[in-house]
Every structure is written in structure tokens, then in C-alpha cells.
Structure 1
């Protein structure tokens, strides 16, 4: 199985517990691949994919918004931001729907950097219900509306990470690695 998860957390824990119950049902057992952000190489590859898909635009922040995870599993998100910045992307900011940094920290960072516009990008495999309910302009408390209310003009890229070929390659590599003895 290859979970379509960004980070390890309680959802992966539940999946692994479920998978272990099926070990004897399949010859060779059950193999489970790693989430997207599982290694330093993943961080480099994902940061490059994001940077290629979203080139620097002067005066504009790139705001990656992830779901977030419980139990301290948000560290890989923060490490991804560090990797993007190490690759020269001072325009990147990270926000989490569940956890920190939240919208207030993101807004403060954008303003402190002197940027007046931002593009919100879901740091999620697909741009589904979270994007529609919590990011998009039509949501009264959505991040796009909150940024605008704070004086930052914001648009929203509706593509999930799964639309990027390099991201699909990382997941495929994880699935292949899980199959190796």
C-alpha cells in the first residue's frame, strides 16, 4: 500500500495498525510505503518540485498551506520550509490548518517581509474540501479572505501537489522501496 499522506502522524499510525491485521492474508505480507516528506531526499525533491511549479514572482509571497498533523508530526512541514529557504526561496511561507504556524503567523511574516500579494498553494495531495472550506475566497473565514482583510491581496492555486509529476515520482519511489525485501 502507498498512503497518499504528506507526513507521518495519527492517520499513518491507524493505517499501519490496520495493515498489520492483514499480514497473514497475503503471501509475503503487506508492505506500506512512506508518506511524502519522510527523508532529507524527499524534502529536497519536493522543494524543487514546488519551486519549479511556482517560480519567484517579485513582491509576491508563496504561501504553502498544509493540513497539519497531531502528535508533533508537523516537523516535516517545517523542514520543507527550511529546505525551500535553503534553496533561495525567501518568498515562501508555511501555514497549517491544524497546528502552528497558523494564518496569523503567516500574515505577520508576509507583512514583515514587505510583500503585498500572496499566492496560496495547498500543501496537500489534492485540492479538495479543505481548500474549498478553509482556503478559498468564498469561505467567510477562509485564508484568502483573511489575508485580504489584513491588506494582503491573495489568489489561490487550486492544484494539489499530486498534479506535479515530480511529486508522483516521490510517491512511486516510496512504493517501490516498500516492496524491496
Structure 2
């Protein structure tokens, strides 16, 4: 499917370009493409507005575009009259607009499968004759030990003030079969060096909610604050984390005798965490100078 999309884009572009345009020298025109899984929740989209504002404030002279990797989310939004591009379509449009250097900043948490799909797409576009001079991808939120330090400190700072030391804080990450899923366990280790009652689990990886529940019960914890460890508090936060279905984290822990307090704020709501993504974006843009 990806190869077919790219081939179609190449055909579209080559029909509008003359042979004399190939290999010509361009005046540098830099662009920023912010790439996220996406969300259809209006409240969660406010977090993306926060990122957008901070990126534009940091780089006022560079145009900013957005792309959603989730086909399902794009279709949901299209039904409401809101049209978002996939990374492939966004890059094709930017090529048609005459951009020469693209900084595609991943707003994912870890370098999982979707991040590597973005990297492959970026390389495919960078290799097209007569297209971009360069397409580089910025690291996701967690890429280095320094990222872990900054993110753990930011989240601890924003834990609800009413939380008591004996209460747990349980962060829900998305999770991935990719080896980079190990960042979640590393994150929990870092948290617990500062606060032994902070835990990190995932929806689709390790640790799972059953592992977290066992740890909470072993420590005889009676109350837990549930916080999404995702860029926005979208479907996963409202359904998998805090929904009323019996398989939600809230239902599982409540059934085990643990009172749950859901917090609907994603990592993109915190300026200190957005700053990490912007640092990664800056690292990419500096390579164009």
C-alpha cells in the first residue's frame, strides 16, 4: 500500500513537471511537518493547538503543516468536514509547493512502528529525482536518557497536588511490539527512583495492566490516579483507561478494590514536554544550515 501510494504521487508530480526542471538548483525553502497519530476528540485537539503555537513561536519564518498517521481518525474527522492529510499526501503537497528542505517532526512517544514508517516515507521522498533536497525526521519524545530525565521531571511536577504519598500514579502508554517499547519500563524505573508509587503500563505492550495491578495490590495501594502517557487524552484515555467497560483500566483496578481518579491530560498539554519535541525539531533544522 505504501509503495503504491508513493508511485501514484510520483506519477502525479512527474506529469506536472518538465524535463528541464529535473536537477535544477532551488532556492532553499524550509518547511516543518508535524506528524502525529491524531485524535478525533475536540478537547484533545486543544493539545495539538498548544504544540502548533509553540512551534510557530519558535520558528516564525518557517511554514508549518500537519499530518495524521491514523486512517481511522482521518476518516472520522472527514465525516465532520475536517480534512487532515496523511504524511505521504502532506509531503506530496509540500513538494508541489516548492519546499526544498523538510523537517518532519514525529510527535510519537517512542520510535515504534509508526515512527519507522515515517522514516521510510521520508527517505522515499528524499530519493525522488527533482524533488526535495532533504527530508529529515526528528526523534520522538523518548530517544535518549536525557529525554527520560526531562519527561519524568515534567510529569512529576504536574501530578495533582491533592495526591497523597500512599496513592499510586499509573501512567498509560500506548505500547508497541517494537523493541523501543523498552522505554516504558525504563521510564518506570526512573520514576521509581524518585517516587516508588509511580507506575507505567501500556495498552499494547509491556508492562500490561495485569502487571501493574499485581504491583499495586502487593503494596496494598487503595487509590490510584490514572494519567495518559500519550500526546493527547483521546480514545485510549477515555475508553481503555477510564471507560466503563469491564476491560478498562479503571474497571479492572476498581474491581480489585482500588479507587481510581482519571486525569484527562496528555503529554502535549505540558509545556515542558512540548519543549522536548521542539528541541528535537531544532536539531533537525540545524542540519539544514
Q: What interval of TM-score do these two structures reach, taking the shorter chain for normalisation?
A: over 0.9
Give the deviation of 1:13 after TM superposition. 1.1
Give the deviation of 1:141 after TM superposition. 1.6
Give TM-score, length-normalised by structure 2: 0.60
Given that residues 229 and 266 in structure 2 are in contact (C-alpha distance below 8 angstroms), is that contact kept between their aligned partners in structure 1?
yes
- Look up the SS of the partner of 2:121 in the other structure: helix
Given that residues 229 and 267 in structure 2 are in contact (C-alpha distance below 8 angstroms), is that contact kept between their aligned partners in structure 1?
yes
Greater displacement, 7-16 / 132-141: 132-141
Give the deviation of 1:72 after TM superposition. 1.9
Aligned equivalent of 2:151, options 41, 46, 51 = 46
* Structure of larger gyration radius: 2
Matched, 1:13 2:116: yes
Q: Which residue is 2:105 aligned to?
A: 2
Q: How does 1:63-102 map to 2 (within 5 A)?
A: 63-86=170-193, 88-102=194-208
Matched, 1:60 2:167: yes
Give TM-score, length-normalised by structure 1: 0.94
- Look up the SS of the partner of 2:137 in the other structure: coil
Structure 1's 10 and 137: CA in aligned 2 closer, same or farther, altered over 3 A? closer
In the alignment, the residues of structure 2 paired with residue 137 and residue 68 of structure 1 have an alpha-carbon distance, to the nearest angstrom, of 19
Give a deviation string over 1:16-67, Cα, whole Å, max 9, x none: 111111115223x012100101001100000000100016622210001100
Give the deviation of 1:180 after TM superposition. 2.2
| Gap regions ≥5 residues in structure 2 | 1-103
In the alignment, the residues of structure 2 paired with residue 57 and residue 3 of structure 1 have an alpha-carbon distance, to the nearest angstrom, of 35
- Moved runs in structure 1, 4+ residues, more than 4 A? none
In the alignment, the residues of structure 2 paired with residue 48 and residue 96 of structure 1 have an alpha-carbon distance, to the nearest angstrom, of 20
In the alignment, the residues of structure 1 paired with residue 172 and residue 164 of structure 2 have an alpha-carbon distance, to the nearest angstrom, of 18
Give a deviation string over 1:80-126, Cα, whole Å, max 9, x none: 1111122x211111111012211111111111112110011101000
- Look up the SS of the partner of 1:105 in the other structure: helix
- Look up the SS of the partner of 1:144 in the other structure: helix
CA-based RMSD: 1.3
Matched, 1:145 2:145: no
Given that residues 132 and 139 in structure 1 are in contact (C-alpha distance below 8 angstroms), is that contact kept between their aligned partners in structure 2?
no
In the alignment, the residues of structure 2 paired with residue 137 and residue 22 of structure 1 have an alpha-carbon distance, to the nearest angstrom, of 40
Given that residues 185 and 206 in structure 2 are in contact (C-alpha distance below 8 angstroms), is that contact kept between their aligned partners in structure 1?
no
Given that residues 161 and 167 in structure 1 are in contact (C-alpha distance below 8 angstroms), is that contact kept between their aligned partners in structure 2?
yes
| Matched residue count | 179
